[in-house]
Amino acid sequence: MRVLLSFLLLLLASSAIRSSSSPVTDDPFLGISPLDEKYYKSSSEIKCKDGSKRFTRAQLNDDFCDCADGTDEPGTSACPNGKFYCRNAGHSPLVLFSSRVNDGICDCCDGSDEYDGIVTCSNTCWEAGKAARENLKKKIDTYNQGVVIRRKEIEQAKVGLEKDEAELKKLKSEEKILKGLVQQLKERKEQIEKIGEKDRLEKEKEEKERKEAELAAQPGNGTSEEKTDDNGKVEGSTAGEEMPGVSQDDEILDENEHHDETGRYKDLDTDEEPAAEAEPTSVLEEGTHTNPANQHVVETKEESPSSEDLITAGSQHDGSTKKEESDEVKKEEDIVSEKKEELSKEELGRLVASRWTGEKSDTPSEADEDSKADDHENHDHTPTSPQEVEEDDGFVSDGDEETGDDGKYSDHEPEDDTYEEEYRHDSTSSYKSDGEDDLDLSETTSSPTWLEKIQKTVKNILQAVNLFQTTPVDKSEADRVRKEYDESSSKLKKIQSRVSSLEKKLKQDFGPEKEFYSFHGRCFESKQGKYTYKVCAYKEATQEEGYSKTQLGGWEKFENSYQFMTYTNGDKCWNGPDRSLKIKLRCGLKNELMDVDEPSRCEYAAVLSTPARCLEDKLKELQEKLEKLMNQDQPQKHDEL
Amino acid sequence: MRSLLFTLSLLCFASQTSLSWKKEEFRTCDQTPFCKRARSRAPGTCSLIATDVTISDGDLVAKLTPKDNDDHINPLILSLSVYRNGIVRLRIDEDHSLNPPKKRFRVPDVLVSELEAKKIRLEKFATENDPPSSVVHVGDGYEAVVRHEPFEVYVRERSGRRVLSLNSHGLFDFEQMRKKGEGDNWEEKFRTHTDSRPFGSQSISFGVSFYESSFVYGIPEHATSFALKPTKGPGVEESAEPYRLFNLDVFEYDHESPFGLYGSIPFMVSHGKSGKSSGFFWLNAAEMQIDVLAEGWDAESSSRIDTLWMSEAGIVDTFFFVGPEPKDVVRQYASVTGTSAMPQLFATGYHQCRWNYKDEEDVAQVDSKFDEYDIPYDVLWLDIEHTDGKRYFTWDSALFPNPEEMQKKLDVKGRRMVTIVDPHIKRDDSYFLHKEATEMGYYVKDSSGKDFDGWCWPGSSSYIDMLSPEIREWWGGRFSYKNYVGSTPSLYIWNDMNEPSVFNGPEVTMPRDALHVGGVEHREVHNAYGYYFHMATSDGLVMRGEGKDRPFVLSRAIFPGTQRYGAIWTGDNTAEWEHLRVSIPMLLTLGLTGITFSGADIGGFFGNPEPELLVRWYQVGAYYPFFRGHAHHDTKRREPWLFGERNTELMRDAIHTRYTLLPYFYTLFREANVTGVPVLRPLWMEFPQDEATFSNDEAFMVGNGLLVQGVYTKGTTHASVYLPGEESWYDLRNGKTYVGGKTYKMDAPEESIPAFQRAGTIIPRKDRFRRSSFQMDNDPYTLVIALNSSQEADGELYIDDGKSFEFKRGAYIHRRFVFSNGVLTSTNIAPPEASLSSQCLIDRIILLGHSSGPNSALVEPLNQKAEIEMGPLRMGGLVASSGTKVLTIRKPGVRVDQDWTIKIL
């Protein structure tokens, strides 16, 4: 996918042609790259490069296309597939489509593409070149500094990773020991409980016998409260997998109709409850992949504060808090059953309009505000066309070949991967992501002796309790065992959770040099209009407006050699795809999110500047480019050679 | 419960299914009393007899009275007029001298003013006795006959062969206006809407018979086959609906249904084995339903096609067109309703649209991508979101802070912009347009006389009453640069939603009892509302340009005469193969009925086309007269460069194909402008005798010289192509020759659809690639000469300034190229006073089918030799690069505006 508007080619001093500020009209070699002149000068009969035929010197640039590939007409518009080379002395050479030659629009800064006299193009190469060089210098500056920061980050990442690994190792061994202790305590506890139970049963038995003796025989009945409970849970958790057939699902459907803007499972992805996390996620996945109706269940759950509630949410919404929605469901039903009587004229109008707009029919003109809010603050500093960029910095198509198909609107972005401080208008910030890795293990981890202490305590307890093995259990000792068991197992849980979060972290892709290590647990924010965009690396991206939060996607991966970060499977769009976000990464001195946009419905795009993308190779490349541009500054010199 | 859930989930995922057409929201014939009644009438129930036949004011006039007029029903007045070139007009109305309760509506401003001058004033009529009839001459060997009892009006050849007849089966019915009596309840209810019908029933119905016909065509706008399938009679399902003509905004329409879409043209054309065509047109703007009756419906077997025409209101004002050639019929129709306006050259290029290009940055970005990928385009479009809250003539100041600058940036590349302006006006007291329209009383009124208040994009809206010429003139003035702030001379207009679409109205349109100026009920004018709106906008642009700039206005609603005001498109289609397929019969039908400047949204408005479908759509769409890509805002971006390098290349090539053919298209647009013969033609229009073409609506002719076969199925690399006639055809992709009159299995690889040049034609091209049509102005021409079996060919080229009305004053070039006896001659066919010069050269002449291999040619009067060599058939094309070589006259150096000859040596 590289139909390039132009190629950046350098001039070789030995073959430089005479520079001229006025358009060349009678140059037989017009439009030919200096590198190519030899090909044309070699003989009187020239071959079409595709080998299709030969043409004479007189047929070169005679404004009649002989070669299908355009070989014979480098300097005219005669061949549709031709390319025109303009030298642009003082700036960078440019290769144009032949369709630009003598079309009345000045494309080359030296004006050489317009020579039929219909328009006069002034030579702007010097100014443009100067501006481009300055831009390039600035860019190099940024890279220079960025590269240093990046190196630091890589070192820090190394340290951080080592630390993480060490911690993990340590935690794992602690986990092992603690597991043993907890097991011992558990056994002890159960022993004590057994004894206690035995005592209790005996006492009960005695009591029973006593009561039986006292009273005449009476029938008892068995109940199973617990079972009922279980049933409730089962029903709740399977609601998401089966076609709902009970009335409360009406509201659930309704939710989808009217509340598609709200986030879905934003609170689920915390590291504190890895076990609890797994289940709702799987429910969610089934919801998105199997049947649309299932999603509604998931969406409803989003409102539930905890993951436990979440599992039973399906059965817990009894409509008491959702009266409004259920009224609206009625409306929908009526429409479906062709009874529009209950719709006001306005409601009917909105409803019909919503077919085209896909909007909620009860909020009419959100759509324009929606688009209005997107990104227009950036207009003044965004290049409006590649040409302009070209004029500005002269390196349109120089390098990011690996960019491939992933521009903001399309596959080929004008290269602009530095981010100058002074361009900054967005209010952006980055910070530690909430709840990430903040599990408080300080109590357990800060002192190296905590484990020993526990071990000791446990030993004491076990010994102490042992003494009473045969006698009835001392209540305070039993309490002590229980308490110690509770504390230890809670600590164990914490450690296990930390282990799992560390393991998860270490599995992440931090880049070839771990330059993205510092992204872990960080969020980047950008305020645009009424929306705040929040991008949390390795986690999720959201769009917030007031209290409403829309998930733009969960972390997917880096793409195209770490030039992009992608988030996918965000909140479903009414009538559209699941939301997703693609972030272009470019070199900058700080991590900053900007230019959030929605080029296609519910497919978001943004730019993140980061030192992690200030690559040394790229810096070298830029420096070489600058060097060449500087050398080319004095074309006259070469002419004299 | 399950079914409810299922339905709701269908609602939720509406755009993902083609089944979401809300059929039940629209009336069936059974739910439409006048239609149900008319459809159930038995033949022979009409007892009207024609009496008191006289000549009055150049017309044949008679009274129509029931045979036994026991109820003392007022007679109807019949009048028959004859116009030059085979046109008979029949009018039937109530007798105004008897003071009916209300004057019935006659549609104004549709018939062209020149028509009157073509009227042949009748002075006498002949009488025949068996059966008693009155006969007048029509000219060219035709006669119009009024049979008295039972009454029938028909046209026949003087030999006696019948051509067209009205009331051959006694199905005529005319409900006269009555005074409302006590206790009369004339209300009609549909769903939640009540039509007060203050004037009661006033419908009209009658049968029309087309003799010696195999098929009938026309009466758009429906998504159906080109040859109209029967809707009633033997072999047709009981539940089948008639073709409905009622302008409606139909959400996600079906690709195969007689259901009425956005426009209505009550004009039908027949064609038969004899190679002859005839046409029938009913000028009436009320709801119409038309049945095509299956052969044998009246137990008679014949080569006739009978049709039943039913309308809710209005009068009988009908035209019989005698043909006999298909092109004669369209010329005759055009002489009544007008030929299509000459478009500006830019409008014949490629248009890029989307709901919505969001802001100025987006516009700049899309524009620059076209340049980056060397894809030409001429116009960038802005849909409703560019406005400030759907207030037309305004801009969203955050998204489009500098609209003039934005337009100028496009204009320097010769590119134009189009913004949308709809007829619904936001009811907002702070909106200048609403304020003014309210104060001036320019809105359509509801049945109680208050400004009608309906719901559309802006929410609560009122609708400008376009029936009034005064209001139209005021509306036109809104487009002046002063009134339309932010507009520039390179801005043109798109009229959408002009059926009119009213989201909360009955069948998503305006209530039939709403009132227009002069007390005209909406039911009477409905189908023409959008036409008047289109007219007002188009005239407004002419005013804006002080009569010097041809307007460009795209409309969705259509009516007879629409062709005079601009282009139309087939509305909200869907990204499905079947919608690509049906676009051809739809456009053929529109062209046949006058609206030649038409197109379907490339790619399909709703949904996301797979790349293969999109590419195929561009390949077919490159031949649509109106060539625009458009998409719904829920769809993924689909500009041509977004689907990988190969697909970009394929779409670029399709668009380039169009641009190389622009001189040919422009010449064809001129032909349509002069004669009414459409740009896109059914094969039988060029080959009237070739029966195999009569129901072919997958292939089409572009002008008389190109035959194109679309590819309408996924994963296909072949297409079955029928090449009509006796002469040969040249494959435009490789120059290969095929004998006519046969069906071939042709290659249709991903880079091309089959396209052929007809032997005996000369097609002008411009082969250089440019950014837009604007830069092609000075480029040289290529002539492609396809020789027939007698080594002859001819063709035309029309050139003007591409934008102004100066061509009307003779500022144009019109050349005729004839190749005969080894000599190519260019002669002037413009009238002597025509004057335009051009420096453009013809620098390449391609000879297809030349019997020998000459190597030079003599150019006169320059007396120069030009080389003849083997050159590529098409420059830069994907297929041409495979290396097809054809005889090419190299650089003859002749000017396009001069007489010359080139002799092959």
Give pLDDT tens digits for A159-192: 999 999 998 998 888 888 888 888 888 887 887 7
Which pLDDT score, from 0 to 100, does residue A219 have?
Answer: 55
Amino acid at B429: D
Query: Taking 80 as the threshold, does the pLDDT of residue A458 lie above it?
Result: no
Q: What is the average per-residue pLDDT within A314-329?
A: 45
Q: How confident is the model at residue A337 (pLDDT cuts 50, 70, 90)?
A: very low
Between A561 and B290, residue with greater pLDDT: B290
Q: Supply φ then ψ for residue A363, to 5 degrees.
A: -130, 100
Q: How far apart are CA B281 and CA B421, in angstroms?
A: 31
- Residue A15 sits at the vertex; the CA angle it makes with A9 and A20, to the nearest 5 degrees, is 85
CB neighbour burial string for A599-612, b if at least 16 within 10 angstroms, e if fewer: bbbbbbbbbbbbbb
Residue of A119, A121, A371, A597 to mutate, testing the B interface (most B Cβ within 10 Å of its Cβ): A371
Which pLDDT score, from 0 to 100, does residue A471 have?
Answer: 56
Which pLDDT score, from 0 to 100, does residue B368 have?
Answer: 97
Residue of B1, B3, B8 to mutate, testing the A interface (most A Cβ within 10 Å of its Cβ): B8
Which pLDDT score, from 0 to 100, does residue A362 have?
Answer: 54
Q: How far apart are CA B159 and CA B163, in angstroms?
A: 11
Which pLDDT score, from 0 to 100, does residue A320 have?
Answer: 43
Q: What is the average per-residue pLDDT within B735-752?
A: 95
Which pLDDT score, from 0 to 100, does residue A472 have?
Answer: 59
Q: What is the average per-residue pLDDT within B366-377?
A: 97
Domain limit, last residue, from A72, A106, A122: A122
Query: Taking 70 as the threshold, does the pLDDT of residue A425 lie above it?
Result: no
Which long-range CB contacts under 8 A does B16-21 form with residues at least 24 apart? B16/B607, B18/B252, B18/B254, B18/B255, B18/B574, B18/B576, B20/A355, B20/B251, B20/B252, B21/B250, B21/B251, B21/B252, B21/B253, B21/B254, B21/B257
CB neighbour burial string for B752-762, b if at least 16 within 10 angstroms, e if fewer: bbbbbbbbbbb
Q: Considering the domain boundaries, does residue B385 fall inside one?
A: no
Domain limit, last residue, from B519, B550, B565: B565
Q: Considering the domain boundaries, does residue B46 fall inside one?
A: yes
Query: In B, which residues are within 8 Å of A332 by CB distance?
Result: 8, 11
Which pLDDT score, from 0 to 100, does residue A473 have?
Answer: 61
Query: In A, which residues are within 8 Å of B362 by CB distance?
Result: 409, 599
For the beta carbon of residue B885, count every other beta carbon within 10 angstroms: 15
CB spacing of B642 vs A410 below 8 angstroms: yes
Residues of chain B numbered 322-381 and touching chain A (CB < 8 Å): 356, 358-362, 364-369, 371-374, 376
pLDDT digits (tens, 9 = 90+) for A52-110: 888 999 999 999 999 888 999 999 999 998 999 999 998 989 999 999 999 999 999 99
Query: Taking 60 as the threshold, does the pLDDT of residue B328 lie above it?
Result: yes
Residues of chain B numbered 779-798 and touching chain A (CB < 8 Å): 779
| Chain A with chain B: Cβ pairs closer than 8 A | 223
Asked if residue B623 lies in contact with residue B700, where contact means CB atoms within 8 angstroms, the answer is yes
Task: Provide the sign of the torsion angle of the four alpha carbons B15, B20, B25, B26, taken in this order.
Answer: positive
- CB-based burial of residue B578 (10 Å sphere; 0-12 exposed, 13-18 middle, 19+ buried)? middle
Q: Considering the domain boundaries, does residue A404 fall inside one?
A: no
Q: Considering the domain boundaries, does residue A599 fall inside one?
A: yes
Residues near B18 by beta carbon (within 8 Å), at least 6 away in sequence: B252, B254, B255, B574, B576
From the CA of A576, how many Å to the nearest CA of chain B? 6
For B142, half-sphere exposure in the C-beta direction (CA atoms, 13 angstrom radius) is 23
Q: How confident is the model at residue A456 (pLDDT cuts 50, 70, 90)?
A: confident
Query: Taking 80 as the threshold, does the pLDDT of residue A582 lie above it?
Result: yes
pLDDT digits (tens, 9 = 90+) for B279-289: 999 999 999 99
Q: How confident is the model at residue B361 (pLDDT cuts 50, 70, 90)?
A: very high
CB spacing of B775 vs A99 below 8 angstroms: yes
Which pLDDT score, from 0 to 100, does residue A374 have?
Answer: 41
Instruction: Answer yes or no: do B263 and B121 share one domain.
Output: yes
Q: Considering the domain boundaries, does residue A474 fall inside one?
A: no
For the beta carbon of residue A43, count every other beta carbon within 10 angstroms: 10
Which pLDDT score, from 0 to 100, does residue A438 have?
Answer: 45
Any idea what the CATH number is for the domain that residue A622 is in? 2.70.130.10
pLDDT digits (tens, 9 = 90+) for B663-687: 999 999 999 999 999 999 999 999 9
Domain limit, last residue, from A88, A122, A156: A122
B71 contacts chain A (CB < 8 A): no
Residue span of the structural domain in which B171 resides: 34-178+199-337
Query: In B, which residues are within 8 Å of A376 by CB distance?
Result: 359, 361, 398-399
Helix (H, G, I), strand (E, B) or coil at A309: helix
Q: Considering the domain boundaries, does residue A230 fall inside one?
A: no
**Closest CA relative to residue B174, chosen from B34, B298, B50, B290:** B34
Which pLDDT score, from 0 to 100, does residue A41 have?
Answer: 87
Any idea what the CATH number is for the domain that residue B99 is in? 2.60.40.1760
| Domains identified in chain B, total number | 2
Residues of chain B numbered 236-295 and touching chain A (CB < 8 Å): 251-252
Residues near A33 by beta carbon (within 8 Å), at least 6 away in sequence: A9, A85, A93, A95
Q: Considering the domain boundaries, does residue B526 fall inside one?
A: yes
Which pLDDT score, from 0 to 100, does residue A489 have?
Answer: 85
Q: Considering the domain boundaries, does residue B232 fall inside one?
A: yes
CB spacing of A412 vs B372 below 8 angstroms: yes
pLDDT digits (tens, 9 = 90+) for B8-37: 333 333 333 345 678 888 999 999 999 999
Residue B499 annotated to the active site = yes
Query: Taking 60 as the threshold, does the pLDDT of residue B182 lie above it?
Result: yes
Q: Which of B396, B572, B767, B897 is catalytic?
A: B572
Q: How confident is the model at residue A27 (pLDDT cuts 50, 70, 90)?
A: confident
Q: Considering the domain boundaries, does residue B160 fall inside one?
A: yes
Which pLDDT score, from 0 to 100, does residue A289 have?
Answer: 42
Q: What percentage of chain B reaches a pLDDT higher than 70?
A: 97
Instruction: Answer yes or no: do B103 and B242 share one domain.
Output: yes
Which pLDDT score, from 0 to 100, does residue A382 have?
Answer: 38
Which pLDDT score, from 0 to 100, does residue B419 have?
Answer: 98
Asked if residue B684 lies in contact with residue B275, where contact means CB atoms within 8 angstroms, the answer is no
Q: What is the average per-residue pLDDT within A335-362?
A: 73
Least confident of A43-47, B420-424, B714-718, B738-742: A43-47
Q: How confident is the model at residue A488 (pLDDT cuts 50, 70, 90)?
A: confident
Residues of chain B numbered 103-132 and touching chain A (CB < 8 Å): none
Which pLDDT score, from 0 to 100, does residue A275 have?
Answer: 40
Domain limit, last residue, from B565, B599, B620: B565
Q: Supply φ then ψ for residue B820, to 5 degrees.
A: -160, 145
Query: Taking 60 as the threshold, does the pLDDT of residue A297 lie above it?
Result: no
CB spacing of B891 vs A382 below 8 angstroms: no
Paired strand residues for B324: none
Asked if residue B797 lies in contact with residue B766, where contact means CB atoms within 8 angstroms, the answer is no
Which pLDDT score, from 0 to 100, does residue B70 have?
Answer: 83
Domain limit, last residue, from A122, A138, A170: A122
Any idea what the CATH number is for the domain that residue B429 is in? 3.20.20.80
Q: How confident is the model at residue A430 (pLDDT cuts 50, 70, 90)?
A: low
- CB-based burial of residue A443 (10 Å sphere; 0-12 exposed, 13-18 middle, 19+ buried)? exposed
Q: Considering the domain boundaries, does residue B154 fall inside one?
A: yes
Domain limit, last residue, from B565, B584, B600: B565
Query: Taking 80 as the threshold, does the pLDDT of residue A613 lie above it?
Result: yes
DSSP string covering B506-532 = GGGS--TT-EEGGGEEHHHHHHHHHHH
Write out the H or E segment, with its range, that includes residue B425.
strand B424-426
Q: How confident is the model at residue B708 (pLDDT cuts 50, 70, 90)?
A: very high
Instruction: Answer yes or no: do B146 and B259 share one domain.
Output: yes
Q: How far apart are CA B114 and CA B116, in angstroms?
A: 5
Query: Taking 80 as the threshold, does the pLDDT of residue A4 lie above it?
Result: no
Q: How far apart are CA B635 and CA B758, in angstroms?
A: 40
Residue of B24, B192, B657 to mutate, testing the A interface (most A Cβ within 10 Å of its Cβ): B192
Q: How far apart are CA B49 and CA B173, in angstroms?
A: 12
Query: In A, which residues are within 8 Å of B11 by CB distance?
Result: 257, 332, 336
CB spacing of B12 vs A371 below 8 angstroms: no
Between A370 and B482, residue with greater pLDDT: B482
Residue B639 annotated to the active site = no
Q: How far apart are CA A97 and CA B771, in angstroms?
A: 10
Q: Considering the domain boundaries, does residue B788 fall inside one?
A: no
Which pLDDT score, from 0 to 100, does residue B88 have?
Answer: 98
Residues of chain B numbered 561-590 and touching chain A (CB < 8 Å): 572
From the CA of B642, how many Å to the nearest CA of chain A? 6
Least confident of A399-413, A559-573, B193-207, B686-700: A399-413
Q: What is the average per-residue pLDDT within A330-348?
A: 61
Query: In A, which residues are within 8 Å of B771 by CB distance?
Result: 99-100, 103, 105
Nearest-CB residue to B399 (from A243, A256, A372) = A372
CB spacing of A410 vs B641 below 8 angstroms: yes
Asked if residue A455 lies in contact with residue A181, where contact means CB atoms within 8 angstroms, the answer is yes
Nearest-CB residue to B373 (from A3, A347, A353) = A3
Q: What is the average per-residue pLDDT within B204-216?
A: 97
Which pLDDT score, from 0 to 100, does residue A449 have?
Answer: 66
CB spacing of B455 vs A349 below 8 angstroms: yes
Query: Taking 60 as the threshold, does the pLDDT of residue B218 lie above it?
Result: yes
Which pLDDT score, from 0 to 100, does residue A610 have?
Answer: 94
Which pLDDT score, from 0 to 100, does residue A448 have?
Answer: 55
Asked if residue B74 lies in contact with residue B58, where contact means CB atoms within 8 angstroms, the answer is no
Query: Taking 70 as the threshold, does the pLDDT of residue A419 lie above it?
Result: no
Q: Considering the domain boundaries, does residue A481 fall inside one?
A: no
Q: How confident is the model at residue A398 (pLDDT cuts 50, 70, 90)?
A: very low
Query: Taking 60 as the threshold, does the pLDDT of residue B271 lie above it?
Result: yes
CB spacing of B9 vs A412 below 8 angstroms: no
Which pLDDT score, from 0 to 100, does residue A191 have?
Answer: 79
Q: Over chain A, what is the mean pLDDT? A: 70
Query: In A, which residues are within 8 Å of B192 by CB distance?
Result: 340-341, 343, 348
Which pLDDT score, from 0 to 100, does residue A573 have?
Answer: 81
B853 contacts chain A (CB < 8 A): no
pLDDT digits (tens, 9 = 90+) for B471-521: 999 999 999 999 999 999 999 999 999 999 999 999 999 999 999 999 999
Which pLDDT score, from 0 to 100, does residue A104 have?
Answer: 94
pLDDT digits (tens, 9 = 90+) for B68-91: 888 889 999 999 999 999 999 999
Query: Taking 80 as the threshold, does the pLDDT of residue B304 lie above it?
Result: yes
Q: Over chain B, what is the mean pLDDT? A: 95
- CB-based burial of residue B362 (10 Å sphere; 0-12 exposed, 13-18 middle, 19+ buried)? buried
B872 contacts chain A (CB < 8 A): yes
Q: Considering the domain boundaries, does residue B55 fall inside one?
A: yes
Instruction: Answer yes or no: do B125 and B258 share one domain.
Output: yes
For the beta carbon of residue B518, count every other beta carbon within 10 angstroms: 11
CB spacing of B364 vs A385 below 8 angstroms: yes
Q: How far apart are CA B337 and CA B622, in angstroms?
A: 28
Residue span of the structural domain in which A42 resides: 24-122
Query: Taking 90 as the threshold, does the pLDDT of residue A611 lie above it?
Result: yes
Q: What is the average per-residue pLDDT within B609-623?
A: 98
Q: How confident is the model at residue A326 (pLDDT cuts 50, 70, 90)?
A: very low
Query: Taking 50 as the threshold, does the pLDDT of residue A20 lie above it?
Result: no
